[in-house]
Amino acid sequence: MLKFIPNRLALITLISACIIILISMGLRQTFGLFFKAFEEGIGCTRTEFGLAIGIQMLFWGMFAPLFGIIADKFGGNRAVFLGFIIFALGIYMLYSGPNTGIFFQISLGVLIGIALGATAIGVPVSEVGKHFPNNSRTIATGLVTAAASVGYFLSPLFTQYSLGEFGWIQTLKYFMFFIGFGLIASLFLLPAKSIIESSQADRDQTFISAIKEASAHKGYLLLVLGFFVCGFQITLVGTHIPGYMQERGMGGWSATIILALIGFFNIFGTLGMGYLGTKFKKKNLLSILYFLRALSICVFIFSTPSMINSVIFGVTFGLLWLSTVPPTNGIVAQIFGTKYLSTLFGIVFLCHQFGAFAGAFLGGYFFDTYGSYDYAWYIAIALSIIATFIHYPIDEKPIVRSLINT
């Protein structure tokens, strides 16, 4: 057993969270590859497709805090189990019908979005964070986030192959088997026996006081704003990179290679950021990360399209993809403690999903209106520069509570 794992319960929860997030985030990463099949199969436009993904991101964000509350009150295993049930319903409607018009938005957008609020990032990462002390929390959450990277790497390869060999309906049916494995894994996302590194005042804090405390903290508000940028960028890439590569005259596999490389190199990025989070100030790491994202996007869109350029973008952006999660979650836990970590990180993630909605919808809208994704990329670069500066003033010092204030 690794030295940083405090007990057997923490190990079981860590493994469970890794499996959950590998399946959930892996499946979520593949929807951009379906855009052509949905255009031909059910006649949806790219604006409608982008809107569905945007709605998915929005509902993911809105329900992340709600499932965070369920996890904090009743256990993460129950929250995630319910999420996978809803996930299965959304996938089933998508391939069995009705799946056009408003029903397309409900299945791909609303239902899968609600499901992701429980199964992706927020609850699994935060539940693991409750089992680990501050000096090893970013490493543990980095491992969970790296598991998503494995899903990011494998799922696009499987999906592209399955779409070519069996079609989009059969591919979605295969997704149901993966969701079944997620349901089983969710049963082992067990709650921590006690709140670690906490005073009696921390343990006695109420839910309402925790929300008021966070909403009055300048650093928390800046963190919320910064995560908007993350959501915009990764959803723009995940949703529209297949269409963008087609626009630039590159084959379908070029987008798949980019998504697969993003997934593979995100493993190293999240693990590396998890380690660096134990050595350096997390806010400074976030500032550097967003600056490097801007640089990566600039090189990609202003260079001549080629497979080499695609590979470079997949590698560099992969290193930066979900690397924001360990330090962001770590800052929330470091400042406010772990009792309401799932809820408070869920609220941060809500703003991430507002950005994700904007990235998904504006990408499709700009293409249908102007015949190009360029304006969406320009916005992504500008937002990255803004995020570089707004993280620096964050005060990471833990709040010291008194019994009177709880």
406 residues of the chain, pLDDT tens digit each: 456 777 888 899 999 999 999 999 899 878 878 878 888 888 888 788 888 888 988 898 889 888 988 988 888 899 999 999 999 999 999 988 787 889 999 999 999 999 999 998 778 988 888 888 877 777 888 888 888 878 878 888 899 899 889 999 999 999 999 999 999 999 999 887 765 555 554 566 777 888 888 888 898 999 999 999 999 998 899 888 888 888 888 866 788 888 888 888 988 988 888 889 888 899 999 999 999 999 999 999 999 888 899 899 999 999 998 888 889 888 888 888 877 877 888 888 888 888 988 998 898 889 888 888 999 999 999 999 999 999 989 988 888 766 545 4
Q: What is the pLDDT of residue 83?
A: 96
Question: What digits encode the pLDDT tens for the residues 309-364?
Answer: 989 999 999 999 888 888 988 888 888 887 787 788 888 888 888 898 899 889 88
Percentage of the chain beyond pLDDT 90 is 35
Cβ atoms of 136 and 275 within 8 Å: the answer is no
CA atoms of 243 and 36, how far apart (whole Å): 9
CA angle 112, 113, 116 (to 5 degrees): 85
CB under 8 Å to 350, separation ≥6 — which residues? 61, 62, 64, 65
Domain ranges across the chain: 13-190+208-398
CATH of 13-190+208-398, one of 1.10.760.10, 3.20.20.140, 3.40.50.150, 1.20.1250.20: 1.20.1250.20
Q: Are 57 and 231 in contact (CB under 8 A)?
A: yes
Contacts of 169 (CB under 8 A, 6+ apart): 95
| Predicted pLDDT of residue 1 | 45
Decide if 363 contacts 236 (C-beta within 8 A): yes
Q: Is 351 helix (H, G, I), strand (E, B) or coil?
A: helix
- CA 227 → CA 12, 27, 286, 323, 350, distances in Å? 29, 22, 10, 12, 9
Question: Torsions phi, psi of 90, nearest 5?
Answer: -65, -45
Residue 202 is predicted with a pLDDT of 57
CB 144 within 8 A of CB 21: yes
Condensed to tens digits (0 to 9), the pLDDT of residues 179-227 reads 999 999 999 998 877 655 555 545 667 778 888 888 888 989 999 999 9
Residue 20 confidence (pLDDT)? 95
Residue 45, both tokens: 């436009």
The answer to whether 33 and 160 are in contact (CB under 8 A) is yes
